[in-house]
Amino acid sequence: MSGIEDDIERRIARAVAGWQQGVTRPGAPLVIDEAWLQTPQALRLPFQVLKNAGVPPREIELLQQRARLRERLEQAAEGAERERLARQLCELEQNLALRLEQLRRLGQG
């Protein structure tokens, strides 16, 4: 049993040492990006959790989708395809505007 416990202690010590190397030196100022300051205080924690998990907020995905739709619309020939893309873009922009308005209201508390 002692061998297993020693192995566990070594692994924990290695993990702690690796974590300590990633920590900035004590007393160093935190680097706060501009997006953090622009985010309403009520939304900072949820957005930070999403960011740490590697999950972008849904609004970011919608903005990327809007950019792709705009490109496809510019390249589309006249006709039904262009009308369909224009309708999709309009619906997406309305959805995005509503979501951003909801976030703005949530952020105001």
Q: Is 30 part of a structural domain of the chain?
A: no
Domain annotation covers residue 20: no
24: in domain: no
- Give alpha helix (H) positions in the chain: 2-22, 34-38, 41-52, 58-75, 80-108
Residue 44, domain member (yes or no): no
pLDDT value at 1 more than 60:
no
The 10s digit of each residue's pLDDT in 21-62 is: 766 566 667 777 787 788 888 888 888 888 889 988 888 899
Mean pLDDT is highest, among 4-13, 49-58, 92-101, for 92-101
The whole model's pTM is what?
0.57
Task: Give CA torsion, residues 33, 36, 49, 20, to 10 deg.
Answer: 40
Q: Which domain holds residue 80?
A: 57-109
Tally of domains within the chain: 1
Residue 42 lies in a domain: no
The answer as to whether 17 is a domain residue is: no
